[in-house]
Amino acid sequence: MGRVKKLLILLGKPGFWLVVFTIRFVGFIKKKLASLAKQLTAKSKKTPIPKQITLPFPRRRINKNTLAIVLVITGIILMTTGIVVDLFTDLPRPDELVSRSSAMTTKVYDRNNSLLYKIYEDENRTLVPLAKIPDHLINATLAIEDKSFYEHNGLSWRGIVRAIHHNLLNPDESPMGGSTITQQLVKNTLLTPEKTWRRKIREAILSIWAEKKFTKDEILQMYFNEVPYGGTAYGAEEASQKYFNKHVWSLDPAESALLAGLTRAPTDFSPFGSHPERAKQRQKQVIKEMVKAGYIDQDEAEKISQIPLRFNLEEDFIKAPHFVFYVKDWLIDKFGQKTVEQGGLKVITTLDLPTQNMAQAVVEKEINSIQHLNINNGASLVINPQKGEILAMVGSKDYFDFKNDGNVNVTLRPRQPGSAIKPVNYAVALSKGYTPATILSDTPITYQIPGQEPYSPVNYDGQFHGKLPLRVALASSLNVPATKILSSYGVDKMIDMGEKLGITTWKDRNRFGLALTLGGGEVRMIDLAQAYATFANLGKKIDFSPVLEVINHQGKTIYKHPCYQQECAGQEVLNPGIAFILNDILSDNQARQLAFGRNSLLNVPGYKVAVKTGTTNNMRDNWCLGYTPDLLVTTWVGNNDNSSMSYVASGVTGATPIWRKTIDNLLKDKENNNWQKPDNVTQTTICRTTGTLPCNGCPQITNEYFLEDTQPTKHCSFSKSEED
């Protein structure tokens, strides 16, 4: 029987083309018959041969129109038969809704094979009768998934039209699907999620078949016991236990609305995922649909929206949760949700668990000690820039502090960087002819920009410092010289440089002005770290990756980090000489004394460490980023609700102590590692106060780095009066 099916499919698939070629063949036969008739007429001098002709091989009269019709009908029958057989070949039976095999577990490990998390360890499922499912969960599910469930026979054209209408008119809201609950049950349990017409037709056939075999309540009961709600939670009871630590029949209307919204995309809408804010947005959409469906009125909807959600605070077996969910999103984007959640993958990540635990402890301890300053959260990233490997990702002080949005991963959220963004501006400056010895003017200035308020930049200390070299202006993080430099070539040049280095949040260029160099454009911590890692790599950009290797359940490697167990190629996006000079300036403790003093936390005795801080004027963000050739530590403190801190001082409180304690732990017992001077960098003795070659009477002689062909060629014209 199997061979017959295969033969029919083989014959049916080219059936369409058989019809086309048949028509052409008939035309060819007509021409040949006409030609033959002419020849016979010419020879016999008789009338042309009639419409009915006699062919030699069948020895019977055949009407040519009849022949064409027979061939066309045969082709159509073969094509239709093949399509039907293809659709029904290996088609599951609805009986299999109650006899599925378990999915395989995906395991996530750190780089040393320490287990971090099991994704879908098993399909935790506790069967409950429909009678125990609360009405508000049933109504919420029907409202958001299938309003006409009790009316259709498995397919709902009205639902499809409604979904299209909703998605066109509400592009900013979560998309609404047109599949019925029966279709979702069939797809999740019997079919694959592939987006093909064949799968959709098979889904429709099985849905109608299931509706004939089971009652509506039986289908709904199976749905509530089978549908995935995210993580290891399969079915409404396990979802209720996972998210709220209670039985499903004890859920309140607000909790039911949240659970009902998860089934469409559990990863995207999970309150425990990378974007927990989407769970609340989805819940509001469910409540809105309940009003439209007539299950509740507007007053009830407002009351439900105000009910606080108290999630289960009991920690699952998970280590480095912010990082784990970042990895999970990365895996799903690369391999698809089903493969990740059911494919039994072994995932070796870049994370170093001891480093992660150390960094987490440092953040938590520092934030607890400065909470009286209205500083409630902190974050940290530890990177190996030479490999693009994330060694630690601390997304908040405490992931499980849901009351204060601890599950929000700050390393992935746009925040204002303050002066930490200045090296991007100075990278442009050095490419435009500026040098570390260029004398800049730190004096008052006001910019009159049409259509905007006059802009007068000021320094963090509120003072002006006169003429000073670019090296000091950058190292001491002076605002006025940085603004003047940016105005000399324009904001677009800085945006171009930022995007080359890894900044992804400056798409709307019209938003930004000269304040961009002072932190006026939001960046993600992971993007800012990418830019600084490029400096550490002397201009070579190596994209970050959280994963070293992925092995499928058959033991085959299906992904390997391009730098795993070998050197990285990377992409040169910045002149190596410019990166070297920036690193030298940012590691110059003498040049930063004007702002930070000689003995600040930024100075790490015995090590060459480039470091930069940043604090926003509104006191909402405080940063510290520091690096060596093979180590980068990025830290931040602030509040998730964007409220201002009451006090923070760069180098004394906030992000800098976290950075210093973290990098001290990492550098302990390591040798000092410095950058090798590129061939296009030269060192020249200059007069510090003029930036030119020294001459008699110049009291401040220093050695300075220059890009080739940018070193000074003139001697100073120094006098005593100029010094005064």
For residue 160, give every residue at least 6 positions away whose Cβ sits within 8 Å of its Cβ, in sequence order, or none.
178
Nearest Cα neighbor of 326 from 500, 564, 544 is 544
**Rounded Cα distance, 97 and 185, in Å:** 8
> What is the residue extent of each domain of the chain?
2-85, 123-318, 413-539+574-629, 681-723
Question: Could you tell me the pLDDT band of residue 223, with boundaries at 50, 70 and 90?
Answer: confident
Domain 123-318 and domain 413-539+574-629, same fold? Reply is: no
pLDDT of residue 312: 80
Structure tokens at 106: 């995906």
Contact in structure between 124 and 230 (CB atoms under 8 Å): no
pLDDT of residue 102: 42
Instruction: For residues 189-203, give the mean pLDDT.
Output: 66
Question: Could you tell me the pLDDT band of residue 151, with boundaries at 50, 70 and 90?
Answer: confident
Q: What pLDDT, in 10s, does the model give residues 697-721?
A: 777 888 999 999 999 988 887 554 4
Strands 233-234 and 228-230, sheet pairing: antiparallel
pLDDT of residue 263: 87
Architecture per CATH, 413-539+574-629:
3-Layer(aba) Sandwich (3.40)
Give the type of residue at 480: V
- Helices assigned H by DSSP within 565-614: 576-586, 593-596
Phi and psi at 154, nearest 5°, equal 120, -25
pLDDT of residue 264: 84
pLDDT of residue 57: 46
pLDDT of residue 126: 67
Question: Could you tell me the pLDDT band of residue 181, with boundaries at 50, 70 and 90?
Answer: confident
Domain covering 123-318 in this structure, CATH number:
1.10.3810.10
Q: How far does the chain reach from its first CA to its final CA, in angstroms?
A: 104
> In Å, how far are 227, 333, 410, 442, 526 from 503, measured between CA atoms?
39, 20, 16, 28, 9
Question: Could you tell me the pLDDT band of residue 5, with boundaries at 50, 70 and 90?
Answer: very low
What one-character-per-residue DSSP string does 350-374 give?
Answer: S--HHHHHHHHHHHHHHHHHSGGGT
β-pair partners for 455: 447
**Rounded Cα distance, 623 and 366, in Å:** 14
- The structure's pTM equals 0.69
Q: Which residue has the tokens 């700050």?
A: 410
β-pair partners for 347: 108, 550
Q: What pLDDT, in 10s, does the model give residues 358-403?
A: 999 999 999 999 999 999 999 999 999 999 999 999 999 999 888 7
pLDDT of residue 452: 79
β-pair partners for 53: 62
* Residue 281 scores a pLDDT above 80: yes
